[in-house]
Structure 1
């Protein structure tokens, strides 16, 4: 027997909540580790340029991971909000239906694939020289 849309959305809701909890634990763990391990420990006692560069990169990567995870958590919160208000599965740009296959691949998806592509082309900064 095929699942009803409500059953599919209930399944996706569980998937969203589990992912959110996993991300929450990762962020808490990373922040606790960063708090326990200060820059001095990362760089070591010798402060040459190479050690400092490595320490800077390690700190930046850890913070980038936390920032990425928090961004995903916000997307999940928004998706759960759309579930509650009844607009989950509807593209926030064009109002069309987001295919359920896309929602299973990315339960926090807020846009249909064409609108997501257009959004990324308009909003994602190009990679290149910044000076």
Structure 2
């Protein structure tokens, strides 16, 4: 069976598998974010209740809420990366480095399906100390 390559150098099968991986991760993250934010909200209500009764565990409830919010923020950044990768698939640009345009190796994409850069450009990007949504794997 002939394996046709897409513009990115990926076969249709590889692109499909990576697309499915991204969609599963998108769904997991969306669920996790909702759960974390709901938990943070309920911890806020509990914290307010503890504060109004002059109880003692308000600080630990606030700490747990802060952790939930921080994890939700981290997951939101990852969700944005997943969605950006899905857009690149839809536009036919997935698998091509956003810096140099060269193909991102299949092994790298399997390990980091949201990778927007080839390994060389990613290393150069990190050495410049730049961070942000484009800067992550």
TM-score, normalised relative to structure 1: 0.80
Distance in 2, matches of 1:2 and 1:15, equals: 23
**1:29 and 2:35 correspond:** yes
Give the Å deviation of 1:60: 2.5
User: Which digits, 9 at most, give the CA deviation of each residue in 1:55-92, with x for residues without a partner?
Assistant: 44333221110011010111111101111111110000
Q: Please provide the CA RMSD for this pair.
A: 2.6
Q: Which runs of 5+ in 2 are unaligned?
A: 5-10, 133-137
**1:110 and 2:116 correspond:** yes
Q: Which runs of 5+ in 1 are unaligned?
A: 126-131
The 3 A distance-change label for structure 1 pair 43 and 103 is: farther
Of 113, 130, 134 in structure 2, the residue corresponding to residue 123 of structure 1 is: 130
Alignment match, 2:8: none
Give the SS at the match of 2:65. Answer: helix
The answer as to whether partners of 2:103 and 2:118 remain within 8 angstroms in 1 is: yes
Alignment match, 2:19: 13
TM-score, normalised relative to structure 2: 0.76
Distance in 1, matches of 2:74 and 2:20, equals: 21
The 3 A distance-change label for structure 1 pair 124 and 56 is: farther
Aligned residues: 123
Give the Å deviation of 1:113: 1.1
Which contiguous aligned blocks of 4+ residues in structure 1 show a shift greater than 2 angstroms? 1-4, 39-48, 54-60
